[in-house]
Amino acid sequence: MNIIELCKYRETCAICGKQMKLSMHDNLFTFAANIADACLTIRGATLARNLSKEIQFVFKPDGTYTHNKQANLRFFTVYVNCIECTTGQFSKNDNIIFHLKDSSIKTLNKKLCAYSIELSLNKDGSFVSEISYETIKFHDNDFFYHINVDRHNEKSYIYSGRLNGKSTDIFSLDVDHVINMRNLHSIEMVKKKIGIYNLFS
Ligand SMILES: [Zn+2]
């Protein structure tokens, strides 16, 4: 998949059905990611700087990039998530990768539909991009349902159970492959997917 296809890999939230948005989080820079003219544009400035002196990178579908000034940036992570379901959950100090990768007691009552795209820039003007992590975390009043996918290690992790149950009530399964999340368009489909793994585990 080229960079634009990666950005549109999931277009709507599996939880609420709303449009997914691009976002970036970094402690040192203020970044914004947008798709314009069939390219991914990342614009940013260090927090100390005036935004008019900003850095701009343009990533093209053919795997090449341009930037407006010499900037020693070789790696970006772009997040695609549903703003509606994750409002207030990502702050500057939040470890978003953790929210994407893992489940813990603290994440049981979170809702999150998100994935991350990693871009590695080469000096010759080319770049490599791939989806690194993907998650759907959902809960209702009684139960939680999580699927986390780690594409680096080609593993997936499933957790479900009662929100206020004992830890022994939690169904937890490590899977040695990447679960196809792209075709999960609703929470009913997520529950069904988890149910199938539960049945055969
Ligand atoms: Zn949503």
What is the whole-number distance in angstroms between the Cα of residue 150 and the centre of ligand 1?
Answer: 21
Give distance in angstroms: CA of 18 to centre of ligand 1: 6
Mean pLDDT of 106-118: 90
Residue 151 has pLDDT above 80, yes or no: yes
Please tell me the distance between residue 195's alpha carbon and the centre of ligand 1 in angstroms.
22
Separation of CA 13 and ligand 1 centre (Å): 5
Asked whether residue 88 carries a pLDDT value surpassing 80, the answer given is no
Q: What is the mean pLDDT of residues 57-63?
A: 97
pTM: 0.90
Average confidence score pLDDT of the chain: 88
Q: State in Å: Cα 112 to ligand 1 middle.
A: 7
What's the CA-to-centroid distance between 29 and ligand 1, angstroms? Answer: 26
Question: How much is the average pLDDT of 23-28?
Answer: 74
Alpha carbon separation from 163 to 20, 45, 87, 109 (Å, rounded)? 26, 41, 21, 7
pLDDT-derived band at 123 (thresholds 50, 70, 90) equals: very high
Q: Which two tokens stand for residue 40?
A: 């991914």
For residue 160, pLDDT beyond 90: yes
Average pLDDT, integer, range 154-158: 97
| Structure confidence at residue 100 as a pLDDT band (50, 70, 90) | confident
Region 163-190: what's the mean pLDDT? 92
Count of structural domains, the chain: 1
Distance from the CA of 61 to the center of ligand 1, in angstroms?
27
Query: Comparing 50-64, 67-81, 91-105, 109-123, which segment has the lowest mean pLDDT?
Result: 91-105
pLDDT attached to residue 167: 77
**170 CA distance to ligand 1 centroid (A)?**
24
| CB 58 within 8 Å of CB 39 | yes
Query: Average pLDDT in the 104-128 region?
Result: 92
Q: Is the pLDDT of residue 52 over 60?
A: no
| 125 Cα: distance to centroid of ligand 1 (angstroms) | 35
Pairing, β 143-150 against β 29-36: unpaired
Residue 171 sits in which domain range?
A: 3-200
